[in-house]
Structure formats: C-alpha cells, structure tokens
Amino acid sequence: MSDLRDPAGMAALSICEALLLALQDRNLLPEREIVGILRDAAATHENAQGPESERKLHTASAKLINEIIVGGNLSQRL
C-alpha cells in the first residue's frame, strides 16, 4: 500500500509508539490503558464518515492500529 510509504505518517506512528512504550516502561500507564487508547483510536477511524476515498483511508488506518494491538511493535512489548 503506497500510503505506508508516507514519511510524515511513518514518523508520527514511530513517535506515538515510542511515547506509549515510554509511558508503559515508566509505569505511568498500564497495559490495559495503552490498549484502550489504541482501541479508541481505531474506533474513531472505523466510525468515520465522509466520501468513499476518505472512508477507505480511515478503514486502512483502523486496520493498521488493530494490527499493532494484535501483533505489531507495541503488542510484542505489552
């Protein structure tokens, strides 16, 4: 998917992952809260309205977030 080659998006994703991991490592947020944050973010994208092209982007974003929860970089550490 060409959208995954967007440098700004990949940088933002990496920064968010690093922040969530740092919050967990420092015992500022427990695992369930971090997963809750990710689920809320995915739900926001899953429920997004608008033109089909925008909904496709939101669907892809939700899928990526759900993959992070299930088997991505964060879930390997959670």
pLDDT tens-place string over residues 7-55:
888 889 889 989 998 999 999 999 899 999 999 999 999 999 999 999 9
Task: Tell me the residue range of the domain where 65 lies.
Answer: 29-78
Rounded Cα distance, 23 and 44, in Å: 22
CA distances from 63 to 11, 40, 72 (A): 18, 13, 11
Q: Is residue 20 part of a domain?
A: no
Q: Is residue 45 part of a domain?
A: yes
Contacts of 9 (CB under 8 A, 6+ apart): 3
Query: Are 59 and 46 spatial neighbours (Cβ–Cβ below 8 Å)?
Result: yes
Q: Count of alpha carbons within 13 Å of 10, Cβ hemisphere only?
A: 7
pTM of the model: 0.79
Q: Is residue 6 part of a domain?
A: no
Number of separate domains in the chain: 1
